[in-house]
Amino acid sequence: MTIRSVLIANRGEIAVRIIRAAKALGIRTVQVHSAADAEMLAVKLADEAVDIGPPAPKKSYLNIEAVIAAAKAAKVDAVHPGYGFLSENGDFADAVVAAGMAFVGPSGDAIRLLGDKVSAREVAARAGVPTVPGSGGRVLTLDDAHRIAERTGFPVMVKAAAGGGGRGIRIVETLADLEKQFPLASAEAAAAFGDGGLYMEKVITRARHVEVQIFGDGENFVHLYERECSLQRRRQKVWEEAPAFELPQVVRKKLCESAVALAREVRYTGAGTVEYLYDEETREFYFIEVNTRIQVEHPVTEMITGVDLVQEMLKVAGGAPLSLKQDDIKPRGHAIECRINAEDPFKDFAPSPGTITKLVVPEGKSVRFDTMLYEGYTIPPFYDSLLGKLIVWGETRSECLERLAKTLEGLKIEGVPTTIPLHQTLARSAAVASGAFHTRFLEGWLETDFTETKTKSAEVA
């Protein structure tokens, strides 16, 4: 069944992105929206729009019954969930299929299997994907702890098995330290949680975040190389690149092949991302999790491979075999994406909803701006702060950085504070240029290298 009509169960820039892909394929588009989103760009672009409820996400975009009812009433063939909201809800995927429509993504079972941290880790291990070395289960004695630490190396994390939210965690640096800390940690866990059980996991210091784009149709599985998302603030990605910075070719091959092995293990359908921690010093990578949906940062992959991932999702969901063959996917050049948020980078990233009074988007062959904005649009306060993503391509990383810095100067968003000044500074930062980053880099850099005065004086210079 080729998809002729699709309902977009999302909002913001990704809804716009999905509508554009659907239109390119001649697919009729139906956009759902909350009462607060009647004026959003996706509503204006879609062939039809349906109000599904009040502003609170729980009452609209997360309301499975309301979304399914809208899809049935609009008589669509398929539902695209975008990212966030219901995109990784296996029950929603099942409900779409039960209502006789195609879910643009993997099966409900696959979403549940890969969405659960424990079962996903088991799948990864079965597929031969390296996981963070550790005890696997409970560590009962100090002798056992010794043996595990010898295998994992130091530093190692000793964690209360019953703990959560960072409580009951100790980082142990040496064998002597372990002998001292282990009994203490056990006693502390027993006191805090009524359970002295401990487990151990290697600490990956200065890790980079590297992830592989995968695609499957249930029978054929490919990867579209990796992205690097090491620049994060409070575990939120801020800036993404493809390919990863100076990843050795042999590591890249192993990394990408491991992601395909995982896809094959679960006979994956649709677009997905396998996330890893990468230890630059040892050149080892470790599985973190799988995201069973399109990612915010998918455009950097599209820019270096020339593949339209969202169009491919729609085709595969309609039952077409994967049109991509591994040997035909040849990455070229370098792409960087900057997330432009309605946040004030000089006021601890305070969210800043409001009305856009002016919008100037630089254009160019190697420049792409995925956005939900238009002049006069009022950004509602009820959803996340992402306004758009500026994606720039270059033949080399340095060419890409240079073009990015110039393009950011031409991007004007007025009416609300945005994170554009942060990206302007990052694009000209020596640390970013030299790839001296890891997942904790940005938070430190913001403290020492990013202040209003420093940024202003750099502009004058």
User: Shortest approach of another protein to residue 61 CB, angstroms?
Assistant: 13
Supply the DSSP string of 390-453, one letter for each residue: EEEEESSHHHHHHHHHHHHHH-EEESS--SHHHHHHHHT-HHHHTT---TTHHHHHHHHH--HH
User: Shortest approach of another protein to residue 51 CB, angstroms?
Assistant: 15
User: Shortest approach of another protein to residue 69 CB, angstroms?
Assistant: 21
d(CA 245, CA 248): 9
Among 381, 395, 409, 454, binds another protein (CB under 8 A): 381
Residue type, 80: H
Q: Determine the size of the site formed for another protein (CB under 8 A).
A: 16
Among 20, 25, 47, 55, binds another protein (CB under 8 A): 55
382 binds another protein (CB under 8 A): yes
User: Shortest approach of another protein to residue 351 CB, angstroms?
Assistant: 4
Q: Which of 227, 293, 368, 397 is catalytic?
A: 293
Is residue 98 exposed (0-12), middle (13-18) or buried (19+ Cβ within 10 Å)?
Answer: exposed
Pairing of strands 28-34, 5-8: parallel
58 binds another protein (CB under 8 A): yes
Find the part of the chain contacting another protein (CB under 8 A) among 139-147, 299-307, 343-351, 446-454.
343-351
In degrees rounded to 5, what are phi and psi of residue 293?
-165, 180
Among 47, 384, 399, 402, binds another protein (CB under 8 A): 384
In degrees rounded to 5, what are phi and psi of residue 357?
-95, -25
Among 353, 364, 376, 444, binds another protein (CB under 8 A): 353
d(CA 411, CA 390): 9
69 binds another protein (CB under 8 A): no
Among 47, 51, 54, 446, binds another protein (CB under 8 A): 54
User: Shortest approach of another protein to residue 441 CB, angstroms?
Assistant: 23
- Cβ within 8 Å of residue 77, ≥6 positions away: 1, 3, 4, 5, 6, 101, 102, 318
User: Shortest approach of another protein to residue 383 CB, angstroms?
Assistant: 7
Residue number with CB closer to another protein (74 or 342):
342
Among 383, 393, 437, 445, binds another protein (CB under 8 A): 383
Residue number with CB closer to another protein (94 or 344):
344
Which 302-331 residues touch another protein, going by CB under 8 A? none
Residue number with CB closer to another protein (54 or 130):
54
Residue number with CB closer to another protein (48 or 344):
344
In degrees rounded to 5, what are phi and psi of residue 219?
-130, -35
388-417 footprint of another protein as x/- string (CB under 8 A): ------------------------------
| Cβ density class 394-425: b for 16+ within 10 Å, e for less | beebeebbbbbbebbeebebebbbbbbbbbbb
346 binds another protein (CB under 8 A): no
342 binds another protein (CB under 8 A): yes
d(CA 433, CA 200): 36
Supply the DSSP string of 147-214, one letter for each residue: HHHHHH-SSEEEEETT--TTTTEEEE-SHHHHHHHHHHHHHHHHHHHS---EEEEE--TT-EEEEEEE
CB atoms under 10 Å from CB of 333, counted, come to 16
Residue number with CB closer to another protein (199 or 382):
382
Residue number with CB closer to another protein (36 or 192):
36
Residue number with CB closer to another protein (384 or 449):
384
292 binds another protein (CB under 8 A): no
CB of 29 closer than 8 Å to CB of 47: yes
**Would you report the helix, strand and coil content of the chain in percent, each value rounded to 5?**
35, 25, 35
List, in sequence order, the alpha helices (H) in 235-366: 249-265, 298-305, 309-317
**What is the dihedral sign for C-alpha 319, 61, 16, 111?**
negative
Residue number with CB closer to another protein (1 or 350):
350
34-53 footprint of another protein as x/- string (CB under 8 A): --x-----------------
351 binds another protein (CB under 8 A): yes
170 counts as catalytic: no
| Residue ranges that bind another protein, judged by CB under 8 A | 36, 54-56, 58, 342-343, 350-351, 353, 380-385
Catalytic residues: 293
